[in-house]
Homo-oligomer: A and B are copies of this chain.
Amino acid sequence: MSPRRSYDQYCSAARALDLVGDRWTLLIVRELFAGPRRYTDLHADLPGVSTDVLASRLKDMERDGLTSRRRLPPPGPAYVYELTPRGRELLPVIQALGEWGQADLGERRPTDAVRAHWFALPLLRALEGEGLVEVRLEEGDFHLRVGAEEGPVYGDGPAPREADARLQLDAETCAAVAGGELRLLEAVRAGRVTVTGEGTLAKALREA
């Protein structure tokens, strides 16, 4: 656990960096926007983080009120980590970083890891309205809770219930939509996104 290395500046941005400026912290937050996750899941989706650093960050974040640790009910009792409301307020920070970093994303490098749900937040920016959206990529599936006010913003795997809309697309299209080079409606019109489902969101995308 870090002995609280602070910038010691009376500045709100510096204070924020005192809490989330350490290496890996904001990426752990990004992972937890997918909902409660176990230690091992986090370690698997954050290639390169060492076990002790991950454990240390999770303790720091809990102490600082960003996350909470909860015991899952049996069977399979395990601890899961999840964002507190305060932690979820970091969404604009991650969104702003993602929007800025989009310009440097470019092609995937051979050394780059990929997880399907890393496209969730960029895609979320491109969606209006409200509802449960399931997204299918070759790399895997995830679901978005568009317009959700509380709880997880997105999740790994298929939607837990019948989705209001289902999108099928490839990573390239996903990146283009996320980067603002292609609007989702235009991607649908160009046949690069297949939309199914009966929710208002699905209908709005199809009829445009």
Contacts and interface: CB of A to CB of B under 8 A. Distances in A.
Interface of A: 6-19, 21, 23, 26-27, 30, 47-48, 86, 89-90, 92-105, 108-109, 111-115, 118, 121-122, 178-179
The interface centre, meaning the residue of A48, A96, A108, A112 with most chain B CB atoms within 10 A of its CB, is A96
B12 A105 contact: yes
9 contacts: A12-B179, A13-B94, A14-B27, A15-B102, A15-B104, A15-B105, A17-B97, A17-B101, A89-B100
Nearest to A65: B104
Contacts of A9: 27, 47, 112-114, 118
Contacts of A13: 26-27, 30, 94, 97-98, 101, 121
A158 B89 CA distance: 35
A12 to B, nearest CB: 4
